[in-house]
A = this chain, B = another copy of it.
């Protein structure tokens, strides 16, 4: 059995003349607009296929940032379409040569490059079994796109920075469009056209976020560890924010659902290690508010991300989100200030956001 994990050479240089990570963060309203116009036929095709042969189960194969898009899909396709969404363990196929029975599932591969052999392997095996298969990728001519029956093009435009930003938000939007296509009565799509505007609005916090990043970078210990707590729809945001902080700013950022956090990791909390709490309006808000009170009682410094002014006052620091975004779509926006925070913290720590240590743009795990 050939089992290996290998980082092959990068396809594109980490930086290309004039394009930076920050440019790609700021470009996200435009990228979202492009996504909204992309691959209508593929969405209709998937919906028709599932009307013909309905499924209860969705299995998603993804790695890294795309895995966080898959977590968003767990909540969104669960809540809107009542689909049980599971994350595949691609190693079962690639290392152990066994693929579970997937013929009655929709199998989705998410990969911005579409080049990761283990993700392609799951989609190929599933299609061979007769499963409905969908690729969500920024490279419609990639191996992943070739393997799947349907292809949803992210249409994010070339992403040159090593850290994924616009391919993440367009992946979430593509998933939201899929959820709407599979449940036309959901009226979810009524708000899609407002999303680019909300994303643009969320970018306005950049000066405050930059100041916060500078303050945290010079704190005792220089923020080398933190905990991030999200719940429900915003759990995906917690995971993706943590990954940005790890890969760019070298912060051991530990992301948790508030529920899992109480099961042990809360022991990590102590004064001097900040806790970043996603606490916007919605179903988890009451529990997150309780957690914020609890952390304040323990003398822990928190950064609260919320669209509710009253909740923001519970943190030592806060980041404002635009108000009025429907909870199921808000993760497409709430990650944006978090990306800006990771970017500015990286600069404030004297690191290069364009050349993260040890990473290449395309990771080909087998």
Interface residues of A, Cβ cutoff 8 Å to B: 1-7, 56-57, 59, 63-65, 67, 74-75, 78-79, 82-92, 95-96, 98-105, 118, 163, 224-225, 231-232, 235, 243, 246-248, 250, 252, 254, 257-270, 283-287, 290-291, 298, 356-359, 363, 365-366
Find chain B residues with CB under 8 A from A243 CB: 264-265
* Copies of the protein in its oligomer: 2
CA gap between A112 and B247 in the complex, in Å: 35
CA gap between A104 and B235 in the complex, in Å: 27
Find chain B residues with CB under 8 A from A79 CB: 92, 96, 98
Q: Is the CB of B359 within 8 A of A259?
A: no
Q: Is the CB of B98 within 8 A of A84?
A: no
CB distance from A288 to the nearest CB of B (A): 8
CA gap between A163 and B263 in the complex, in Å: 9
Q: Which of B1, B104, B235, B262 contacts A365 (CB 8 A)?
A: B262
Given contacts A5-B231, A259-B63, contact A104 B56 (CB under 8 A): yes
CB distance from A123 to the nearest CB of B (A): 14
Find chain B residues with CB under 8 A from A261 CB: 5
Q: Is the CB of A266 within 8 A of B100?
A: no
CA gap between A84 and B87 in the complex, in Å: 9
